[in-house]
């Protein structure tokens, strides 16, 4: 695909400069912050900082060409913690704002980093585009396919750089892996299997409770239809409720599915199926904790993703990864910035590994060093106006595969899809899940 060809490792190195090359070769944690020059700083607002957003806000602040000027969160405790962390890193205190829309009114603000719950991702990113801001939005870029399409429309209409947090698109050795795949190192690659495993505990049955004084629950819900507050939703378990979250397939499967789609050079599927459910426990958890999604594509190509939220028995010794199968061999990548090539006799032909190992299933992310590749690419594209490695159109196509898997799961049916846009064919009930209902007054427009 042309979009992937445009993001080759060689192009990435040219865009990011010699600093990123040094990082790829093992730059120390202390010096990685100086990836780019500090001639012009990109002013960023970090939105949603209780979890991953906290670490990423500090990572943005470490970049020499970036200034984090706002920290925005509906929880005053989370906001205060991240303000303190960013101040320590940058020696300059950012402003704290509960409602990020206030920050969007600041004409000196260049962009936003959005790590809110999933139901806020696309609405917030679209608002930012409309306010003239560039956007780095965490995966998944949308709660439902309709929102993803609107976000692409907004990025193009307002001519904004919009990058999704599919950070493996910027990891040098994964870029090299994909380049080798597409050059035929294992012949014709025709099947890829990805996985994610964890050992998540039950969330119990929620009880009605008073909203914590530090939390604006009304604003937290935002565009989502209103649900009463209960004690097992915030701050993380919302992932497992359809009203706000998207399940493990989008929470983590997005990463491997994006790499597999990229490596195989495919866009929209012809058929999608899903099997699984909430198997491990009986509680309020609504999305699957065990799920296998299969996707067929033109050209005799298939992808399978396996998610096990509550049993972390590893595959290939890792809690996550992807395997590509070809008619001349196999490539394995296990969540790190590296890969191994095997021949048809299962003999190692080539092994490429990063000298720094990461916790591949840490909910906070793979670590500052690897995240910095994607951050620096975004910041450089804000300056240059070029499309980033994880451009929103690329991100949407990968997220859509996960969303189709969830729609197949929820309807219990095989989905046949339109090759032009991934829309579901001849199934009105399934297409009803293409978009969601919004709280009155919160409908999205571009």
Indicate the domain borders of the chain: 2-170+368-391, 172-204+230-362+396-433
Among 29, 197, 153, residue whose Cα is nearest residue 446? 153
Q: How far is CA 303 from the centre of its chain?
A: 18
Average pLDDT over residues 32-53: 76
**CB crowding 83-93: b at 16 or more within 10 Å, else e:** bebbbebbeee
Q: What is the mean pLDDT of residues 369-378?
A: 96
- Band of pLDDT at residue 437, cut at 50, 70 and 90: very high
What six digits make up the tokens of 152? Answer: 């692409």
State mean pLDDT over 6-18: 40
Q: 347: alpha, beta or left, given left = phi > 0 and alpha = psi -120 to 50? A: beta
User: If you average pLDDT over residues 312-340, what whole number do you get?
Assistant: 97
- Compute the average pLDDT of residues 78-107: 98
CA atoms within 13 A of residue 30's CA, in its CB half-sphere: 0
Q: What SS3 state is found at 167?
A: helix
Nearest to 243 by CA among 254, 234, 256: 234
Q: Is the pLDDT of residue 18 over 90?
A: no
Q: Is pLDDT of 98 > 90?
A: yes
Backbone angles phi, psi at 293, to 5 degrees: -105, 130
Q: Is residue 162 within 8 Å of residue 125, measured between CB atoms?
A: yes
Nearest Cα to 283, choosing from 235, 320, 230? 230
State mean pLDDT over 34-51: 78
Which pLDDT band, with edges at 50, 70 and 90, does 21 fall under? very low
Q: What is the C-alpha separation between 282 and 202, in angstroms, rounded?
A: 8
Is the pTM value of this prediction over 0.85? yes
- With a CB cutoff of 8 Å and minimum separation 6, the contacts of 195 are 256, 305, 306, 307, 308, 315, 320, 321, 322
Please check the confidence at residue 278 and state whether its pLDDT lies above 90: yes
What per-residue confidence (pLDDT) applies to 38?
A: 41
In 234-352, which residue ranges form alpha helices assigned H by DSSP? 247-251, 253-264
E-assigned strand segments in 150-245: 162-164, 189-197
Measured distance CA(157)–CA(346) in Å, rounded: 49
From its phi and psi, is residue 105 left (phi > 0), alpha (psi between -120 and 50) or beta?
Answer: alpha
User: How many CB atoms sit inside 10 A of residue 232's CB?
Assistant: 19
Is 262 within 8 Å of 6 (Cβ atoms)?
no
The chain-wide mean pLDDT, for the chain, equals: 92
**C-alpha to C-alpha distances, 442 to 32, 120, 148, 312, nearest whole angstrom:** 41, 11, 16, 39
CATH 3.30.360.10 fits domain 172-204+230-362+396-433: yes
Confidence grade of residue 40 (pLDDT, cut at 50, 70, 90) = confident
Q: Which of 208, 206, 212 is nearest to 238 (CA)?
A: 206
Distances (CA, A) of 214 to 28, 72, 74, 97, 227: 38, 13, 8, 13, 19
Domain 172-204+230-362+396-433 in the same topology as domain 2-170+368-391: no
The average pLDDT across 172-199 equals 98
- Distance of alpha carbon 145 from alpha carbon 27, whole angstroms: 39
Is a pLDDT exceeding 80 seen at residue 304?
yes
What's the pLDDT tens digit per position in 108-160? Answer: 999 999 999 999 999 999 999 999 999 999 999 999 999 999 999 999 999 99
For residues 384-403, average pLDDT: 98
Query: Cα–Cα distance between 366 and 359 in angstroms, integer?
Result: 6
* 215 and 74 Cβ atoms separated by less than 8 Å: yes
User: Which pLDDT belongs to residue 27?
Assistant: 40
pLDDT at 16: 40
What pLDDT is stored for residue 363 in this prediction?
A: 64
- Distance separating alpha carbons of residues 235 and 233, to the nearest angstrom: 6
- Specify the higher pLDDT residue, 19 or 340: 340
Inform me whether the pLDDT recorded for 14 exceeds 90: no
Specify the CATH number of the domain 2-170+368-391: 3.40.50.720
Residue 97 pairs with which residues in a beta bridge? 72
Lowest mean pLDDT among 200-204, 208-212, 352-356, 400-404: 352-356
Say whether pLDDT at 367 is over 90: no
């Amino acid at each position: 695909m042309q979009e992937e060809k445009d993001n080759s490792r060689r192009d990435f190195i040219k865009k990011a400069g010699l600093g990123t090359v040094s990082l790829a070769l093992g730059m120390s944690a202390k010096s990685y912050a100086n990836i780019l020059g500090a001639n012009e700083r990109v002013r960023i607002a970090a939105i949603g900082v209780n979890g991953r957003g906290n670490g990423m806000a500090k990572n943005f602040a470490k970049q020499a060409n970036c200034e984090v000027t706002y920290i925005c969160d509906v929880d005053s405790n989370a906001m205060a913690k991240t303000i303190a962390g960013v101040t320590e890193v940058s020696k300059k205190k950012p402003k704290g704002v509960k409602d990020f829309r206030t920050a969007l009114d600041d004409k000196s603000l260049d962009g936003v980093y959005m790590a809110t719950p999933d139901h806020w991702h696309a609405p917030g990113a679209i608002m930012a585009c409309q306010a003239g801001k560039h956007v780095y939005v965490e995966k998944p870029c949308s709660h439902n396919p309709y929102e993803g399409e609107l976000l692409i429309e907004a990025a193009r209409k307002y001519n904004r750089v919009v990058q999704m947090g599919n950070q493996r698109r910027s990891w040098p050795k994964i870029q090299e892996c994909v380049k080798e795949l597409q050059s035929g190192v294992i012949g014709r690659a025709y099947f890829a299997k990805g996985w994610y495993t964890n050992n998540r505990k039950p969330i119990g049955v929620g009880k009605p409770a008073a909203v914590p004084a530090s939390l604006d629950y009304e604003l937290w819900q935002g565009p989502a239809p209103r649900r009463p507050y209960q004690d097992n939703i915030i701050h993380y378990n919302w992932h497992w409720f359809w009203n706000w979250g998207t399940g493990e397939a989008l929470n983590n499967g997005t990463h491997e599915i994006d790499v597999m789609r990229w490596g195989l050079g495919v866009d929209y599927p012809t058929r999608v199926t899903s099997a699984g459910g909430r198997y491990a426990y009986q509680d309020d958890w609504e999305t699957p904790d065990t799920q296998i999604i299969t996707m067929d594509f033109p050209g005799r190509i298939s992808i399978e993703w396996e998610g096990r939220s509550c049993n972390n028995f590893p595959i290939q010794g890792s809690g996550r990864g992807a395997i590509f199968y070809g008619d001349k061999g196999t490539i394995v990548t296990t969540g790190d910035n590296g890969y191994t090539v095997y021949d048809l006799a299962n003999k190692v032909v080539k092994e490429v590994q990063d000298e720094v190992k990461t916790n591949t299933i840490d909910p906070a992310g793979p670590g500052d060093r690897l995240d910095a590749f994607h951050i620096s690419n975004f910041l450089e594209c804000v300056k240059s106006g070029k499309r980033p490695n994880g451009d929103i159109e690329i991100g949407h196509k990968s997220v859509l595969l996960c969303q189709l898997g969830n729609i197949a799961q929820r309807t219990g049916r095989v989905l046949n899809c339109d090759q032009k846009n991934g829309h579901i064919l001849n199934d009105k009930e399934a297409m009803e899940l293409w978009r969601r209902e919004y709280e009155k007054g919160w409908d999205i427009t571009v």
